[in-house]
Amino acid sequence: MSSAATPAAGHDPHELDGVPEGILAHHYSSLAAQNEAVRLGMWLFLATEILLFAGLFAGYAIYRFQFPEAFAEASRHLDLSLGTLNTFVLITSSFTVAMAIHFARTDRKNLAVACLIFTIACALGFLGIKSIEYMHKFQEGALPGPYYAFKEVTAPGAPMYFTIYFLTTGLHAVHVIIGMSVLIVLTFKTANGRFSSKYYTGLELGGLYWHLVDLVWIFLFPLLYLI
Amino acid sequence: MLQSIDGSPQTLAAPAEYTPYLKDGTTVMSWLNTRDHKRVGVMFLVLVTLGFFLGGIFALAIRIKLLQPGPFLYDAMTYNRLFTLHGIVMIFFFMIPAIPSGFGNFVLPLMIGARDVAFPRLNLASMYVYLLGASLALWGMIHGGVDTGWTFYTPYSSTTTTNAFPVILGLFIIGFSSIMTGLNFIVTVHTLRAPGMTWMRMPLFVWAVYGTSIIQVLATPVLGLALCVVGVENTLHFGLFDPTRGGDPLLFQHLFWFYSHPAVYIMVLPAMGVMSEVICAFSRKNAFGYNMIAYSSLGIAFVGFFAWGHHMFVTGQSSVNAGIFGVISMLVGVFTAIKVFNWVGTLYRGSISFNTPFLYACGFLYFVVFGGMTGIALATVSLDVHWHDTYFVIAHFHFVMVGAVIMGFLAGLHYWFPKMFGRTYHDGWGLVAGSLIILGFNATFIPQFLLGNAGMPRRYYEYPDQFQALNVASTAGATLLAFGLLIILVYLVVALVSGKRCEQNPWGSKGFEWMTQSPPSTHNFDVIPTITTGPHDYRTHTHSAAFGVHHV
Amino acid sequence: MNEFFRKLLFLPEQASSFAADVDHLHYFVMMTTVIMAAAVGLCALLFFAIYRRKSEAQTTPHIEPTLMIEAAFVSVPLILFLLWFAVGFRQFVEQDNPPADAIDVYVMAKKWMWKFNYPDGPNAVNVLRVPAGKPVRLLMTSQDVIHSFFVPEFRVKKDVNPGRYTQTWFTATIPGKYQILCSQYCGAGHSIMRGEVIVMPPAEYEAWLANLKRGIPNTQDGTPTPIENVAANTSLVEQGKRIAVEQGCVKCHTVNGERHIGPSWLDMYGRHEKMKTGEMITVDEGYMTESIMDPAAKIVDGFDNVMPSFQNKLAGPEIAALVEYMKSLQSDTVRNTPSEAPLYAPVH
């Protein structure tokens, strides 16, 4: 077991300067040990999220192999500019959330809050652009399975493309909403001074989750829009 | 006087009186809002026991109908719902969470010298998530039920008009409970071990639960996705698995079994962990081949992920597929064989006391070999062609799931009962009930192996007349089995209420969890011990009489 | 020996060419399983008897396995399991590869029945007739959900999936009747979705097949029912042509104008014919139908009363198809003369 940072003699390890009360749980020997634990926990959780999406990626691969023409043709009818804009928006938001953590770590609370708010705005922007895309699909009739009425792509298997499209982007959008809610909570906490150079783990974990949401999109975008 | 892990008395002054966790807050809210892993564990045990009896009622309803080959008691669609719900309740409400979330929660932190699990609030949340998912699924069962079989094969599950959606959603939610528990245990084992407890000094139960947790974390999300998509299919009919829309029904089977095969190791690995503890404790002997047993837990967890195709040998896949999955399934069997040989080796030159937990350990050894080897037999591809989807498969998985896992669960229950509640039960009744269960179980399921050989398929409401005799025999066995289980319920409840109070370590076990009070205080240890020896070390004697801490 | 184990393990009779081999592997695997399970359980009890706890103060030695023992624990089960796999997988590959000379039968499964189609002729519902001793390949698909074709006596099973074909094959060895059981859950009728394989000695099978092609229908299984006879997407004229061949009409009625036992069908529709009774009729749908059902009622002059009745042998749709076919046989020549009598002089 690693030797955790030992507090000075006579100090209760549960009374750390600059760290808000109640952060350190009683069953951890030190804050460093607790931070290590919560980071490991978060990475494990991210692994579960990756496996959740893995099944859908497998489905995409299988049906793409089965209907290559339909998938290629349908993909060309997606709105590439909106998709690219969304990618840009998400990557920017990942950058701003990383900046927020940096500012919190260097005790610049107001800049941290500003970055977080910008991140949330990007998330909202992503969802907004996605809704526009979805509305286009509804109007064109490019819908899954039995609801398919998209006259421009008639190759066999085209409805399957849109089934996969809606399932993957839908599940991703759910995760964007979850991530956004987490970031909203973290914004309030940052504004209330919870995070500082002494302790910023909660913000770090929220940022990690947001990076995962971004990462899933980085994989989705080329598979759905580019190839 | 407290003893530290290596048996030497501690010199720290410790209060002879203390507040056991059961008495630390006696309001309902103190239980519902607890952070104490022990209380969460006890609440889980209550919930999974309720689930077990519900699933058992469904089982008896099925077996009674099967006394007659033709229509009897109720109609075919009711029967179809009953076997579906039996499977769902038993697997998701009991088998998956019982030992990890029940005993694992209670005992694992004690075993590694920690005061709690890594994330106590997440632990409590996992219980509420379990309750939410179970309630939703139960609501669906009451309002129409579902008839697809717990395997939800498409396209039948996409087109059934029974009330599948709430059940599917309920199971999706319950999956999160499993993920939370697994995540919690992995982090606990990595970060909260007491000073001096290296990986190779961990008790074997911890190794088993650690392997289980890896499977829970990595496999359950894939089930979540599979259920999610089936739910969408059943309600919105997108056609992902509909061949008329270019979908592939077999894709569902791959997604489903990718979870559900590792899931059976979620069920059996913790039981194996209990076995290691019980065999060592009741033969007062070190584990023969500790390293092998520890690594084989990881081996089962890892290799088990790649064997799922053996559920699909007759689906029309290529024989190359069959070959690969068959070989990998054989490898998993080798890990189990290693454990069995090592457990028997542990008994050699031990100092064995035949108490109820030990009876269950003997039963477990028999059942895990029989059940496990019939699993290997099924993986011998050509034999599976005859046996697939017949009662042979049912008998195989009941041997390992009920036979082995229930033996593990009951062994753990009887071993740790004094630890959890500070009372003892009547060991004689324990032996009687255990014997009835072992006998009743054999009487129920050996006829089912023969039924499968004779060609009776699964999920048959009506069956050809020639299968009746074996069905009647099986139902008779099931009645005996049920009777044995009910006896346990009775004497354990009596013991809870008025059983004799026991000392700290009534079994004289060297398990680390016995080095603190029975029942423990809320914070487990007054002082976190420093570990200096390996587990299950019986070269020195443990004076159970020297443990003199009685609770108030 | 084989029979002893087969009965002990409740296995059904071995009625296909690979059943015996599969069963031999089965005996080996199951006997080893039962023996090992009993041995382990008994060993535990034996060790209890020998190493019973003598006193509370008893301690035990710390024993670790040697490298040899560890190697044995790993290699013995590994070799045994891989040996079983090698034998079993070989058998599976054989079961997966039908011989080139197999008779093909198309199987269509739907809730909750089996339909069997032979490429060159009859089809049947729920009954599959096969010759003994010849390999039969089944090409199977489902119309709705996943089913599974299982014949215990043959040790044969294969899932039947919608949207794709699966294949399996067997060589039935013992004539008799064997149950087909659906073994993939498919709803309310899953447990009653049964069928029958009738294995016939080769000579009998050939006779049955020839019988069916001759057009003399059997009254029991194997008969093409009126509904089976007509494929939904062929025209009535084509169906009629098929029926005319199958029922043997063309043995007596030519379609090219040549004289033969019965009037030629070419240009028959709309013709004015003189009956034996002297009555003149116009050949229309009514007359054609009546002639099929009750040929003796109105016989064309110059022909004999030798046509058999097809009453109860042909259903309405089939007669309609025949009539349409006959109507379609028109040549460009305009012919007003009555049918010429056959070339032979009837024996008085």
What is the rounded CA–CA span in Å between residue B112 and residue B188? 9
Over residues B188-247, the pLDDT tens digits come to: 999 999 999 999 999 999 999 999 999 999 999 999 999 999 999 888 888 889 888 888
B53-67, B484-498, C237-251: lowest mean pLDDT where? C237-251
What is the rounded CA–CA span in Å between residue B189 and residue B193? 6
Chain A's closest residue to B220, CA to CA, is A48
Among residues B457, B391, B452, which one has the least CA distance to residue C191?
A: B457
What is the rounded CA–CA span in Å between residue C153 and residue C175? 12
Task: Tell me the average pLDDT across B404-418.
Answer: 96
What is the rounded CA–CA span in Å between residue A38 and residue C62? 39
What is the rounded CA–CA span in Å between residue B390 and residue C183? 7
B397 close to B473: Cβ distance less than 8 angstroms = no
- Cβ contact (<8 Å) for C58 and B323? no
Neighbours of B548 (CB within 10 A): 10
Q: What confidence tier does C347 reach under pLDDT thresholds 50, 70, 90?
A: low
CA C28 remoteness from chain centre: 34
Q: What pLDDT score was predicted for residue A190?
A: 93
Q: What is the ipTM of this complex?
A: 0.90
What is the rounded CA–CA span in Å between residue C92 and residue C84? 12
Q: What confidence tier does C231 reach under pLDDT thresholds 50, 70, 90?
A: low
Q: Are strands C272-274 and C280-282 parallel, antiparallel or unpaired?
A: antiparallel
**Would the CA dihedral through C22, C25, C27, C29 be positive or negative?**
negative
Among residues B298, B333, B322, B313, which one has the least CA distance to residue B204?
A: B298
Q: What pLDDT score was predicted for residue B545?
A: 34
CB contact burial A106-140 (16+ within 10 A = b; e otherwise): eeebeebbbbbbbbbebbebbbebbeebbeebeee
What is the rounded CA–CA span in Å between residue A83 and residue B198? 50
Q: How far is CA A161 from CA A134, A148, B508, in A?
A: 14, 10, 64
Among residues C292, C317, C125, C332, which one has the least CA distance to residue C235?
A: C317
Q: What pLDDT score was predicted for residue C256?
A: 84
Alpha helices in C97-235 (DSSP H): 202-214, 226-229
B40 close to B34: Cβ distance less than 8 angstroms = yes
Report, in angstroms and rounded to the nearest whole number, the Rg of chain C calculated over CA atoms: 33
Residue C177 sits in the same domain as residue C273: no
What is the rounded CA–CA span in Å between residue B166 and residue C116? 39
Percent of chain B with pLDDT over 70: 95
Q: What pLDDT score was predicted for residue C239?
A: 82
Over residues A117-139, the pLDDT tens digits come to: 999 999 999 999 999 999 999 99
State yes or no: chains A and B have 3 or more CB pairs below 8 A. yes
Residues of B in contact with C192 (CB under 8 A): 462
What burial class does residue B102 get, using C-beta atoms within 10 Å of its C-beta: 0-12 exposed, 13-18 middle, 19+ buried? Answer: buried
Q: Is B405 helix (H, G, I), strand (E, B) or coil?
A: helix
Chain B's closest residue to A61, CA to CA, is B251
Task: Tell me the average pLDDT across A103-108.
Answer: 93
What is the rounded CA–CA span in Å between residue B58 and residue B86? 5
The residue segments making up the domain with residue C172 are 103-213
Which sequence spans correspond to the domains of chain A?
43-225
Q: What confidence tier does A7 reach under pLDDT thresholds 50, 70, 90?
A: very low
pLDDT at residue C341 tops 70: no
Provide the strand spans (E) within chain C: 103-110, 113-117, 123-125, 127-131, 135-142, 147-151, 156-160, 166-171, 176-182, 194-200, 272-274, 280-282
- Of the partner residues A37, A41, A145, the one whose CB lies closest to the CB of residue B237: A145
Q: What pLDDT score was predicted for residue A25?
A: 86
Q: Is C123 helix (H, G, I), strand (E, B) or coil?
A: strand
- Of the partner residues A48, A55, A66, the one whose CB lies closest to the CB of residue B179: A48
The verdict on residue C187 lying in a domain is yes
List the beta bridge partners of residue C274.
Answer: C280
The topology under which CATH files domain A43-225 is Four Helix Bundle (Hemerythrin (Met), subunit A) (1.20.120)
Assign residue C162 the CATH number of its domain: 2.60.40.420
Q: How far is B503 from chain A (nearest CA, A)?
A: 26
Q: How far is CA B464 from CA B70, B453, C153, C191, C196, in A?
A: 8, 14, 14, 9, 13
Interface mutation target, options B240, B242, B256, B305, chain A, most CBs of A under 10 Å: B240
Task: Tell me the average pLDDT across B64-80.
Answer: 94
Q: What confidence tier does C302 reach under pLDDT thresholds 50, 70, 90?
A: confident
CA B197 remoteness from chain centre: 26
| B327: contact with C, CB 8 A cutoff | yes
Q: How far is C204 from chain B (nearest CA, A)?
A: 28
Q: If you average pLDDT over every residue of chain C, what do you get?
A: 86
CA C145 remoteness from chain centre: 20
Count up the domains in chain C and report the number: 3
pLDDT at residue B14 tops 50: no
Among residues B276, B282, B271, B352, which one has the least CA distance to residue B507?
A: B282
Q: What is the pTM of this model?
A: 0.84
C238 close to C324: Cβ distance less than 8 angstroms = no
Q: What pLDDT score was predicted for residue C102?
A: 93
Residues of A in contact with B251 (CB under 8 A): 58-59, 62
Q: How far is CA A53 from CA A49, A164, B221, in A?
A: 7, 12, 8
Residue C141 sits in the same domain as residue C198: yes
C30: enclosing H helix or E strand: helix C19-50
List the beta bridge partners of residue C125.
Answer: C115
State yes or no: chains B and C have 3 or more CB pairs below 8 A. yes
What is the rounded CA–CA span in Å between residue B15 and residue B416? 24
List the beta bridge partners of residue B390.
Answer: B457
pLDDT at residue B375 tops 50: yes
Over residues A174-216, the pLDDT tens digits come to: 999 999 999 999 999 999 988 988 899 999 999 999 999 999 9
**Would the CA dihedral through C67, C69, C75, C77 be positive or negative?**
negative
For B349, residues 6+ apart whose C-beta sits below 8 A from its C-beta are: B285, C51, C60, C61, C63
Residue type, B454: A
For B391, residues 6+ apart whose C-beta sits below 8 A from its C-beta are: B448, B449, B451, B452, B456, B457, B458
What is the rounded CA–CA span in Å between residue B374 and residue B393? 9
Residue C88 sits in the same domain as residue C116: no
Per-residue H/E/C for chain A: CCCCCCCCCCCCCCCCCCCCCCCCCCCCCCHHHHHHHHHHHHHHHHHHHHHHHHHHHHHHHHHHHHCHHHHHHHHHCCCHHHHHHHHHHHHHHHHHHHHHHHHHHCCCHHHHHHHHHHHHHHHHHHHHHHHHHHHHHHHHCCCCHHHCCCCCCCCCCHHHHHHHHHHHHHHHHHHHHHHHHHHHHHHHHHHCCCCECCECHHHHHHHHHHHHHHHHHHHHHHHHHHC
Q: If you average pLDDT over every residue of chain B, what do you get?
A: 91
Q: Measured between alpha carbons, how far apart are the two ends of chain C, in Å?
A: 73
Report, in angstroms and rounded to the nearest whole number, the Rg of chain A calculated over CA atoms: 22
List the beta bridge partners of residue C167.
Answer: C139
Q: What pLDDT score was predicted for residue A41?
A: 96
Eight-class DSSP state of B544: G
For C45, residues 6+ apart whose C-beta sits below 8 A from its C-beta are: B362
The verdict on residue C56 lying in a domain is no
Over residues C21-72, the pLDDT tens digits come to: 999 999 999 999 999 999 999 999 999 999 999 888 888 899 999 999 999 9
Helices and strands (H and E) in chain B: how many: 17, 0
- Of the partner residues A55, A62, A167, the one whose CB lies closest to the CB of residue B222: A55
Structure tokens at C288: 């054609």
| C92: contact with B, CB 8 A cutoff | yes
Report, in angstroms and rounded to the nearest whole number, the Rg of chain B calculated over CA atoms: 23
Residues of A in contact with B258 (CB under 8 A): 55
CB contact burial B28-59 (16+ within 10 A = b; e otherwise): eeeeeebbbbbbbbbbbbebbbebbebbbebb
Task: Tell me the average pLDDT across B102-127.
Answer: 95
- What superfamily in CATH does domain B38-547 come from? Cytochrome c oxidase-like, subunit I domain (1.20.210.10)
What is the rounded CA–CA span in Å between residue B253 and residue C195? 26
The verdict on residue C223 lying in a domain is no
| B442: contact with C, CB 8 A cutoff | no
Chain B's closest residue to C94, CA to CA, is B382
A84-98, A131-145, B175-189, B477-491: lowest mean pLDDT where? A131-145
Q: What pLDDT score was predicted for residue B552?
A: 21
Task: Tell me the average pLDDT across C268-286.
Answer: 88
The verdict on residue C236 lying in a domain is yes
How many beta-carbon contacts under 8 Å exist across A and B? 122
| B494: contact with C, CB 8 A cutoff | no
- Cβ contact (<8 Å) for B348 and C29? no
- Of the partner residues C76, C92, C189, the one whose CB lies closest to the CB of residue B381: C92
Answer with the residue of higher pLDDT: B123 or C337.
B123
Residue C90 sits in the same domain as residue C107: no
Give pairs for B23-31: CB < 8 Å, separation 24+: B23/B551, B23/B552, B24/B521, B24/B522
